[in-house]
Amino acid sequence: MLTGLLVPGAAAQPPEGEPAPGPESAAPAVVELAEIPAEPPAQPARPAGGELFGADCDTVIQGSQVTANCHNAYPATDLVRLHVECDRWWDVDGDGGAVAVGPAGRAELVGRCWKEVRSAWVSHRRP
């Protein structure tokens, strides 16, 4: 019994006369050339330049404080709001007011909990 624990390969030997399992004993893979498409699948169409929208926001949680730094690289104004969900049941979750981030504009959104933060995210809306 103790030998099997010390030498795990001893129990894994195939019976005498049978081939050892391995990659050479597996059947070769067969590929039907007729099943391979001649062209790659069609890519979805990219949105037109006027459809791009939404500020890029980086959210950082440090203890009970939440900070989101947003930068709008698009020509349309984005209304961003910070939402903070607190970890404790008695701690009040927070939804910040909407802040307009114009084209090439930046905004810093700040929120907090009394104790730990469970999650935080930024929502986007067109004006």
Q: Is the pLDDT of residue 124 over 50?
A: yes
Residue with tokens 């961003």: 80
Q: Is the pTM of this model over 0.85?
A: no
- Residue 23 amino acid letter: P
Write the burial class of residue 15 (CB in 10 Å: 0-12 exposed, 13-18 middle, 19+ buried). exposed
Residue 9 has pLDDT above 70, yes or no: no
pLDDT of residue 1: 45
What DSSP string describes the chain? -HHHHH-HHHHTPPPTTSPPPSGGGSPPP---GGGS-SSPPPPPPPPPGGG----EEEEEEETTEEEEEEE--SSS-EEEEEEEEESSTTSPPEEPPPEEE-TT-EEEEEEE-SS-EEEEEEEEE--
Neighbours of 125 (CB within 10 A): 13
Q: How far apart are CA 3 and CA 77, in angstroms?
A: 73
Instruction: Report CA torsion sign: 88, 91, 93, 99.
Output: negative
Please check the confidence at residue 76 and state whether its pLDDT lies above 80: yes
Confidence of residue 2 (pLDDT cuts 50, 70, 90): very low
